[in-house]
Structure 1
């Protein structure tokens, strides 16, 4: 029975499905057509309300045609609205299109044509949608902003000194004229022909030589002096800026201790600075020593340390001022007994950028450690000190008293019961002075110096308003050249470069010149080629006068190098061909020309080379021979340093070089024979 009822229900459901669903589909389609007809009717009424600009006959015909189309369409709609039973009896007509019920419901709105603009008229205009600007990246920060990020505040607060600033030195009287110098020092400088201070000296000397006598003391354990960093162009008087205050302060010493240490990169610069110290300190009784490796190590030990047999905590020294290279300094720190830096009042690092760039057995770390007292005080009893630390003077009597410890090292005293003020921590009195024409901007290297409240002096710019620009120039390595320097650039091929050099020397009558090459071998080869060229030209031209040329390089022994340099200073040698050995710090007053036969590979080398001329306000010329394949690199280097516009290009044509070619080819053949035999 249940099965029969279920079968009947299924038949009824099938019947309803077959009848109702087609009717619903037809009804939805009919509604769609009615909406479409209504929209078209409204559009026609709107168009009838407007006068047409065609002919009258055309307008009437168009109206009748439109009415007929509407009536036909309405008849079709009425015919389709019938009962499902009647629809089955009538013959089936061909359907124009077939559509599913879901598609009609979902897409009926999208299939309808857009309404005419005339239907959507309203009294108030519709508000426009708001527009938003397209997203854009912010402007990138400038190079100046990036360069100043994370800059040390001490460098931001640096003293900017105009290169033209000078200060007159009063020769006598109690008035120092703002220099901070004693009457004896002022007389000495005037006797040497120094009547005014240069830019860097005008600010540095009053800072290092304050009027308060307490700040000139040799020991300042409770109020140690501030450290100093100086960036100034070559030839601006940096050496004299630290020699004079060191001599002034150390002249008050009674006992000889090593109180000033000057570290330099080369032996030649050591000898030059020693001559300056000896000249300025004449009559002061100060003892000056050097350590460069020029003499044997035992010989230097005897010259520097007074006592080798007894171990003394305070050290023992025969010199007040030591000028040295970093490698030899480390040797004495490790191997020389009683060589101590605890009494240092000044630590001078000249040409700081080069010394900080090269490790030299980590010389800086060891030197700074030797100037500081140990962090953990040694606590020894008198018996322990006699047994382990001190060497007895005789077989029976020990020496319990350390020899002259510096105030910052007094906590090393072995006595168990001492007042608290002796064991109190004290700072070292060593004042660090850094000098360079190209002072490093690497914060890591500056931090390694452990500067104490550093004070920066920058010789650059012309007014206080340019302080930020001057600091930015130092940070971005925009170097300042002397105003009296004229710079030239000559671009040529590798074959023509010797010819261009010979033409430059003879056409511009160049004497008192330094010629820089890339190596010692290049130096010797160029000197021989120039001598062969002059001999070939002299054999054909009787009125030609040879120029005395000499090589100066690391291949020469120290004594011979000194002799060559003395001859050049006395102008017995007109042209000195050298490597970069003397490109830093060497001061030869009569040098009027600097020729870079081999172009420098970086801007720092260029600055130090051309800095050998136009010193102390004198005029000078700098010439750079650039090979064609090096021209792009050289120009980019100058452009990055914002200095390309200052270098004038000089053109030398083939007609100017043609007369020199026969003599040049003869010189080349002689040079070839010389090297083939060797």
Structure 2
């Protein structure tokens, strides 16, 4: 594999790449970056988890002049989660050069986005519906765009965005550089490529297995309310040297870190709201072993390179297979074996199967650890600590007391008491965590209100929609089952009120925002009027 130094990149970009923990390029990056830097149109066929974002992001940032004050690059993504994720990586790659980028997606206050656009970003990362909204408002102009990237194009077309994409691309100058990335190459993708790309190079990188073979992967199926007890037992049973636990949101990370501390574990949280000093302090403790459990969000853990991480635990299932690969890749490094556990609720089994399909790796199901297994694990760890101390020969000063005790007491009882003391008492403190909505695999479904026209949607398990109220976990954990807030779609718009009342169930408040009511506008959100309980993904 080539190193990034071999691509002829400017030092500020190389510095950003180094600080993100990347050294050698991945196959898709090695093939894409040289062609993209030459301005060649290309079709990249690659699964998530292969480094696509850097493949198009690095040459994009390399080409943009820092003094540029126009929108010169447009990246289109199917969902707001992907738009946020791509924007994060583009921000990191371009931070030392000073490149300005902005994510545009439904579900976020449109007035806030309009204010951000006045700071003259050079790169826009957006979902098609919200992009069209801004184009219609004349808050985004594409007259000066020189590069267009279509990321996960097959997903965008599956979600019904073909018309939107065509409308947007017709507004971009014909003399442009276009890159299309897709995991699959169905006929509609080929048609799109023929229409908008000029003699594209076709790059195909289909990995045999995305996830690392040295990582022992397993999942536990359980209910949301069982997760914390399962985590406590798992830590006790496995006795990790260093473990990273992944939560989906900043709130989850904060609550989980605090709960583990209450139970007596040496744990701290890491997420995007921490200052650089706080981050550095947490990471210093984790590296020197002052804490042995790090609870983190995906964004916070990107680029982390800590040797000796023996376990990764996905407390919440990640949004997509790429995130799963990034998460478990924190362990099993430098030829060492690692272990990755994933908690999956019954409604998330389909999403787990999607991860297995993309990573081409079967994840074994294992039972919830029992209390007996947890106790046995803690006792084993304590015994190992005693044996390690014996190997060190640094216990001579204690031999006198040991001889005296052995003369008075039974040796088995003495060692049992010592083991009990060293193992410590588990603090039986009641823990309540705010539940997270389950991840659901993406399903193609038909909207009867659109004359059978297929639109994108997210089915819950094997169903094709259903009452979203039934997707809520059981009681407890401070759930607000009686509230009138809305369930957000994947890209930010709402499914409709939880209480079953009528409302703008698929179209947000289009009348107040001056939008059309096409069913594919589901990523428009409800602009400044949005009151949905959206997930914070940083």
Match runs of 1:419-434 below 5 Å: 428-434=174-180
- Report 1:455-604 matches (<5 A): 455-460=201-206, 480-483=210-213, 485-490=215-220, 497-506=227-236, 507-509=238-240, 513-516=244-247, 531=258, 534-535=261-262, 537=263, 544-549=264-269, 562-563=273-274, 571=282, 575-576=294-295, 587-590=302-305, 594-597=312-315
Q: Residues of 1 paired with 2:15 and 2:257: CA distance?
A: 44
1:562 CA displacement: 3.7
Q: Deviations over 1:440-469 (max 9, x none)?
A: 4543355446452443333345xxxxxxxx
Q: Give me the whole-angstrom Cα distance separating, in 2, the residues matched to 1:289 and 1:641.
A: 29
The answer to whether the Cα contact below 8 Å between 1:244 and 1:280 also exists between their aligned partners in 2 is: no
Deviations 1:635-664 (A, max 9, x none): 97788679465648588445224689x969
Other-structure match for 1:239:
53
Partner residue, 1:322: 124
Q: Secondary structure at the match of 2:170?
A: helix
Aligned to 2:85: 269
Q: Aligned in 2, Cα 1:367/1:512: closer, same or farther, shift over 3 Å?
A: farther
- CA distance in structure 1 between the partners assigned to 2:68 and 2:247 by the alignment: 45
Residue 348 of structure 1 and its aligned partner are, at CA, apart by 1.9
Could you give the per-residue CA deviations for residues 482-515 of structure 1, whole angstroms, max 9, x where no partner exists? 4554422346788865433212234433756243
CA contact (8 A) 2:13 2:97 kept: no
- Structure 2 unpaired stretches of 5+: 287-292, 379-424, 435-474, 482-538
Distance in 1, Cα, partners of 2:122 & 2:224: 52
| Structure 2 residue 329 is the aligned partner of structure 1 residue 611 | no
Deviations 1:250-269 (A, max 9, x none): 34x98754221123433642
Q: Given the alignment of the two structures, is residue 444 of structure 1 paired with residue 212 of structure 2, yes or no?
A: no
Separation (CA, whole Å) in 1 of partners of 2:17 and 2:349? 49
Alignment of 1:53-452 (within 5 A): 166-168=1-3, 177=6, 179=7, 181=8, 196-210=24-38, 216=39, 225-234=40-49, 236-251=50-65, 256-264=69-77, 265-266=80-81, 268-269=84-85, 271-279=87-95, 281-282=97-98, 288-291=101-104, 297=110, 300-301=113-114, 304=117, 318-336=120-138, 339-352=140-153, 354-359=155-160, 363-371=164-172, 428-435=174-181, 439-444=183-188, 447-448=191-192, 450-452=195-197
State the 1:342 CA deviation.
Answer: 3.3
TM-score (norm 1): 0.43
Paired position in structure 2 for 1:623: 341
Structure 1 position 231, deviation (Å): 0.8
Of 662, 667, 673, which aligns to 2:430? 667
Query: Partners of 1:275 and 1:590 in 2: how far apart?
Result: 19
Q: Provide, for residues 364-409 of structure 1, a one-character-per-residue CA deviation record: whole Å limited to 9, x for no partner.
A: 23322322xxxxxxxxxxxxxxxxxxxxxxxxxxxxxxxxxx6xxx
Q: Retained in 2: the 8 A contact 1:243–1:276?
A: no
Contact 1:491/1:626, CA 8 A, preserved across alignment: yes
- Unaligned residue ranges in structure 1 (runs of 5+): 1-165, 171-176, 211-215, 217-224, 307-317, 372-405, 407-427, 462-469, 471-478, 538-543, 553-560
Contact 1:258 1:340 in 2 (8 A): yes
SS at match of 1:262: strand
RMSD over equivalenced CA pairs, Å: 5.2
| Paired position in structure 2 for 1:95 | none
Higher relative contact order (CA 8 A, sep 6+): 2
Q: Alpha carbons of 1:366 and 1:441: their partners in 2 closer, same or farther (altered >3 Å)?
A: same
Distance in structure 2 (CA, Å) of the matches to 1:490 and 1:533: 19
1:287, CA displacement in angstroms?
Answer: 5.2
- Report the secondary structure of 1:167's partner residue: coil
Structure having the higher helix fraction is 1
Alpha-carbon distance between aligned partners in 1 of 2:227 and 2:260, rounded to the nearest angstrom:
14
Counterpart CA distance in 1 for 2:369 and 2:106 is 46
Q: Distance in 2 between matches of 1:651 and 1:669?
A: 19
Shift of 1:346: 1.3
Distance 1:189 1:631, change over 3 A: closer
Q: Distance in 2 between matches of 1:302 and 1:636?
A: 41
Secondary structure of the residue aligned to 1:330 is helix
Quote the offset at 1:333 in angstroms: 0.6
SS of residue paired to 1:258: coil
Structure 2 residue aligned with 1:62: none
For residues 260 and 332 of structure 2, the distance between their equivalents in structure 1, rounded to whole angstroms, comes to 35
Rounded to whole Å, the distance in 1 between the matches of 2:17 and 2:350 is 47
Q: Give the count of matched residue pairs.
A: 373
